[in-house]
């Protein structure tokens, strides 16, 4: 669910651009981040997501456009004058300082009194569950504990905005999932706006109010996790966010927001994308979990089952058609009911509402 704007976004990016010589790293990025909203920048390496974050932080300067925090331009301000907290992938803790001194550092830089610093540091460490670790050095902590110290340091002075650049990249899967829940809890309790960078699709879907998918320096699509997953605006978004089957064909007929697509000798119905008409060469995108695996002769596109992959909570069937292999994901068979055997003929089908057509 998207956090509602109160009429004055905490952060606004307008036409942000960044180049390195002849290479355009970020091109014409616009974004408004609501108060208390959690927005994730998602995309492959080199897509511009981290460069955009670094320009917001003040660690890089844009070549064009404007950055406004609480309505005031900040692109000319140094990082320490921006009311922004930052958490890096590798924590960036001072190894010679205790946990308390690490967390106190940004408060000392802002000239707060000793008593107030001690109070705020204690509150921050209690918030992240490390109240008893204040005198330890970073090397005496686990990776997850070090990440919590970095979070406490970034949030201790209650900035208007918290930036996080791949903060969980160095953690194992179970610890990553634990820290995802922890970050969301802190986000809710502190009621702080968060701008988060990751290349992990599951992480983005789990944590975000909205996701901005970057591609070649531009935002390809921005929306809620369900909007992007269920209704991707481009083939790139459909391909990058989750797993997708792509069937090549030609539009035979158009009726409203749906179309009939010829896939060889088969005709299938799907949702139409803007700008496409009868005769267009297209691909039909269908998520594996939206596919139905049918017995031979029961309809659908005919193929042959070549493999079944056990995934614990699901099983993935690999079906070979004339032009390649496609995937269908279903829950495990109930009560051990046998499914089709490898090598048997099967059919693939789907509800047209869950299939989207894109230009090929």
Alpha helices in the chain (DSSP H): 49-57, 99-109, 114-127, 143-155, 173-190, 201-207, 225-230, 235-240
Model pLDDT, residue 4: 42
Give the DSSP H or E segment for 307: strand 301-310
Whether the CB-CB separation of 128 and 179 falls below 8 Å is answered with: no
Model pLDDT, residue 209: 95
Cα–Cα distances in angstroms (integers) from residue 21 to residues 24, 91, 321, in the given order: 8, 30, 46
Model pLDDT, residue 144: 85
Residues of the chain below pLDDT 70: 1-7, 333-338
Sign, CA dihedral 329-332-338-342, equals positive
DSSP state letters, 4-72: PP-SS-SEEEEEEEEEETTEEEEEEEEEEE-TT-EEEEE--TTSSHHHHHHHHHTSS--SEEEEEETTE
Model pLDDT, residue 337: 59
User: Exposed, middle or buried: residue 316 (CB in 10 Å: 0-12, 13-18, 19+)?
Assistant: middle
Model pLDDT, residue 3: 41
Model pLDDT, residue 336: 55
Model pLDDT, residue 333: 67
Q: C-alpha angle with apex 116: 181 to 119, nearest 5 degrees?
A: 45
CATH number of 243-359: 2.40.50.140
Domains of the chain: which residue ranges? Answer: 11-237, 243-359
Model pLDDT, residue 49: 95
Q: Among residues 122, 161, 352, which one has the least CA distance to residue 258?
A: 352
Whether the CB-CB separation of 172 and 180 falls below 8 Å is answered with: no
Residue with tokens 């000392």: 108
State the Cα–Cα distance between residues 222 and 215, nearest whole angstrom.
12
CATH class of 11-237: alpha beta
Model pLDDT, residue 1: 36
Judged by DSSP in three states, 308 sits in: strand
């Amino acid at each position: 669910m998207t956090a509602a704007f109160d009429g004055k976004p905490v952060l606004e990016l307008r036409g942000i651009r960044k180049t390195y010589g002849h290479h355009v790293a970020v091109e014409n990025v616009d974004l408004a981040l609501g108060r208390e909203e959690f927005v994730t920048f998602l995309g492959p390496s080199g897509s511009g997501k981290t460069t955009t974050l670094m320009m917001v932080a003040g660690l890089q300067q844009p070549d064009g456009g404007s950055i406004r925090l609480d309505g005031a331009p900040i692109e000319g301000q140094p990082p320490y004058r921006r009311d922004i907290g930052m958490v890096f992938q590798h924590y960036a803790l001072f190894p010679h300082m205790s946990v308390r001194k690490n967390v106190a550092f940004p408060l000392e830089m802002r000239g707060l009194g000793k008593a107030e610093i001690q109070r705020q540091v204690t509150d921050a460490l209690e918030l992240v569950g490390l109240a008893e670790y204040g005198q330890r050095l970073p090397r005496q902590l686990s990776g997850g504990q070090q990440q919590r110290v970095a979070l406490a340091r970034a949030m201790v002075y209650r900035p208007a905005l918290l930036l996080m650049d791949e903060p969980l990249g160095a953690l194992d899967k179970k610890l990553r999932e634990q820290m995802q829940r922890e970050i969301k809890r802190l986000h809710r309790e502190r009621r702080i706006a968060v701008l988060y960078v990751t290349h992990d699709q599951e992480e983005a879907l789990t944590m975000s109010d909205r996701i901005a998918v970057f591609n070649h320096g531009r935002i390809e699509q921005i929306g809620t996790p369900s909007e992007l997953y269920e209704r991707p605006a481009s083939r790139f978004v459909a391909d990058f966010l989750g797993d997708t089957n792509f069937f090549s064909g030609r539009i035979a007929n158009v009726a409203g927001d749906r179309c009939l697509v010829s896939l060889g000798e088969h005709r299938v119905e799907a949702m139409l994308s803007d700008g496409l008409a009868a005769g267009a060469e297209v691909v039909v995108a269908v998520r594996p979990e939206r596919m139905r695996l049918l017995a031979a002769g029961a309809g659908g596109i005919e193929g042959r089952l070549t493999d079944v992959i056990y995934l614990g909570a699901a099983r993935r069937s690999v079906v070979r058609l004339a032009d390649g292999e496609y995937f269908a994901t279903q829950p495990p068979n109930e009560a051990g009911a046998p499914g089709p055997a490898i090598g048997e003929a099967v059919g693939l089908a789907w509800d047209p509402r869950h299939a989207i057509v894109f230009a090929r």
